[in-house]
Structure 1
């Protein structure tokens, strides 16, 4: 099947969850979480779950498990992907994923380097994978990084990814 054929699959509905990992943000100040929600809704997706948790491994793991248990198609996580001691999102996600999607992080860093932040892109540990039947994307918490990931990578491939997971 060609790439065009793969991308032509349409979803009746796309059920999504959004998780913001931050020690400082709340619903009023979570620009990145709101950006994700807006982009998903603009593309006809339903946001079934939205949570903000502290950058604590136990809280992140519980939130991921709770959201995934709601039979959603995609979980979009922002925050906690850097290299600071408090950044533990990726360690938690890596423990939970059944399959990794390494291309997401690789291309995200390449785009970040060429379009946005230059050599600082090496500090990002953005990643993606699959937990059961749910695609999981972990991206940095900055709104610029979220916009880049959503517009250039996630939204263009969303129906294709969900179709492949559910084959």
Structure 2
């Protein structure tokens, strides 16, 4: 089956959760969270949950598990993917995923390098994987990084991923 044939078998409706990991953002200043939500709504996907949590492993894990308990198809996380001491999102996500999608991080860093930030792309630890039957994407918190990940990778491929998970 061709890639186009695979992508033509997509669910009619998707439910999503969004988490912003930040010590400083709130609902009014969370530009990246709003960008994710607007991109998902632009595809007519349902937003089941949206939260902002501090850069604390326990808070991040509790929020992930709470949203997963709602049986969402996809969970999109932004923030906490860098190398600073407080950046712990990836440690939490990697502990929870049972299947990694290494291509997401690899291609995200390649696109970041060529289209956006040059060699600073090596600082990104963006990752994706599967927890149960939920696709999880963890991307940097900058709005430029979120826009890149959403437009070039997540939005084009999410229906196909969910289709594959629901076979």
- 1:112 offset after TM fit, Å? 0.0
Measure, in 2, the Cα distance between the counterparts of 1:166 and 1:129: 15
The residue that corresponds to 2:132 in the other structure is 132
Partner of 1:47: 47
1:15-30 counterparts in 2 under 5 A?
15-30=15-30
Aligned length: 167
CA displacement, residues 97-148 of structure 1 (integer Å, 9 cap, x when unaligned): 0100000000000000000000000000000000000000000000000000
Distance 1:41 1:104 in 2: 22
What do you get for the CA RMSD once the two structures are aligned?
0.5
Normalised to the residue count of structure 1, the TM-score between the two structures is: 0.99
The whole-number CA distance in structure 2 between the counterparts of 1:125 and 1:164 is: 25
Distance 2:120 2:10 in 1: 37
2:89 maps to what in 1? Answer: 89
TM-score w.r.t. structure 2 length?
0.99
3-state DSSP of counterpart to 2:17: strand
Unaligned runs of 5+ in 1: none
Map 1:63-78 onto structure 2 (within 5 A): 63-78=63-78
Runs of 4+ in 1 over 2 A off after TM superposition: none
Aligned to 1:120: 120
Q: Which runs of 5+ in 2 are unaligned?
A: none
